[in-house]
Amino acid sequence: MNKTALAPESTAIGQVRQFVAEKVVPRASAMDLEQRIFPEVFREMAEAGLFGLSIPRRYGGTEADYPLLGALHEELSRGFASVQNACTVFAMVCKPLTRFGSEELKERWLPRIAAGDVIPAIAITEPQVGSDIAKLETTATIENDQITLNGTKKYITLGQVADLFLVFARLGGRGIAVLVERESPGLQITPLPGLMGLRGNMLAELNFENCKVPASHLVGKIGYGFTHLANYALDEGRYTTASGSVGLAQACLEHSLMYANERTQFGEPLRKHQLVQKMLSEMITEIKAARELCAAAGRLREQGDPAAINDTLVAKYHASKTAVHSADHALQIHGASGCIHGNPVERFYRDAKIMEIIEGTSQMHELQIARTFSL
């Protein structure tokens, strides 16, 4: 891969698989322990074109189509789910910026993000507000071509290292989205270590106290923040998180198969024990189904079909639950050895649960799927 073009699909997937095997997997345990993605990994990801996957070529991106994007996110998550989730965050900022941002903002930021010179983050979640984005409490005012922000954002992925934040706030009764640079006066960033899973996400809390940014940093129209940009960003995040969940489940399966072949109990390999076979069979079947759901959603997204929104919800719902179920089986198969830090299965177990929470909880998806399904 390179920064300006993607190889044919099978080649690109193979290249990312090799990149993950060589650059990510050997460092995954250490990055999980230190609760960060190493700077050299960020640099190598940028050089491989991974930060530009959702950025048009005219702005220096690699512009993957949706089916390929999903396949690449699956490969990234097989190595280290936090790396995959970082790429999700890049997409959740760059896709709305590409669609709704001014040409000035796109030309200023997208090439630098694709090159890895700027790390973006999206700031929606607040201490009292999660999935119900219409209830955001962060406020904004506009006066003399300046936007002033007041409020708090919490659990912001990459917040500890991000250079640029896409911040959602309330302007009177209308939602807005605005780009805020890290060094903006009135912005204070506090690290939030200790996350159970996805420990490389480098979460932070953002406090805005009369934080001032130019009005030209507004992305989209006033009133578009909640109805257009936030929903669009979350929809993007659900798709790549669904694919990442498949990759995480696949990693659970691969480690389980290898261990079940090697580990002997009662005179024969674990894989010959019927109850272990049952767990492996469930993992194989659920993963294949989740992968097909993601592929179907990707095809609809690429076609611009409105049904893609619901299919993406279904894919994310099933794939994240599959990741949790597969991680549970993997830990059971590995027994005590899988519970020790340093064994990838222990990390998979913690990471998988977070997949059911980010970009909308499973319970939120159940409500949305049931309400929107039609014969």
Q: How far apart are CA 46 and CA 370, in angstroms?
A: 40
DSSP string, 217-235: GB-S-TTHIIIIIIHHHHH
According to DSSP, residue 134 is labeled G
Q: Of the listed 47, 268, 359, 366, which one is catalytic?
A: 359
- Please say if 359 is a catalytic residue: yes
Q: Are 32 and 199 in contact (CB under 8 A)?
A: yes
E strands, 286-358, are none
The count of C-alpha atoms lying within 13 angstroms of the C-alpha of 251, restricted to the half-sphere facing its C-beta, is: 31
Q: Positive or negative, the Cα torsion across 90, 165, 115, 57?
A: positive
Q: What burial letters (b/e) apply to 43-70, b meaning 16+ CB within 10 Å?
A: ebbbbbbbbbbbbeeebbbbbbebbbbb
Identity at 277, one-letter amino acid code? Q
The CA–CA distances, whole Å, from 204 to 32, 161, 172, 185, 229 equal 16, 9, 26, 17, 22
Instruction: Estimate to the nearest angstrom the gap between the alpha carbon of 299 and the chain centroid.
Output: 19
Q: Taking Cα atoms as reference points, which of 313, 317, 321 lies closest to residue 372?
A: 313
- Of all helices (H) and strands (E), which one includes residue 178? strand 174-181
Catalytic residues: 359
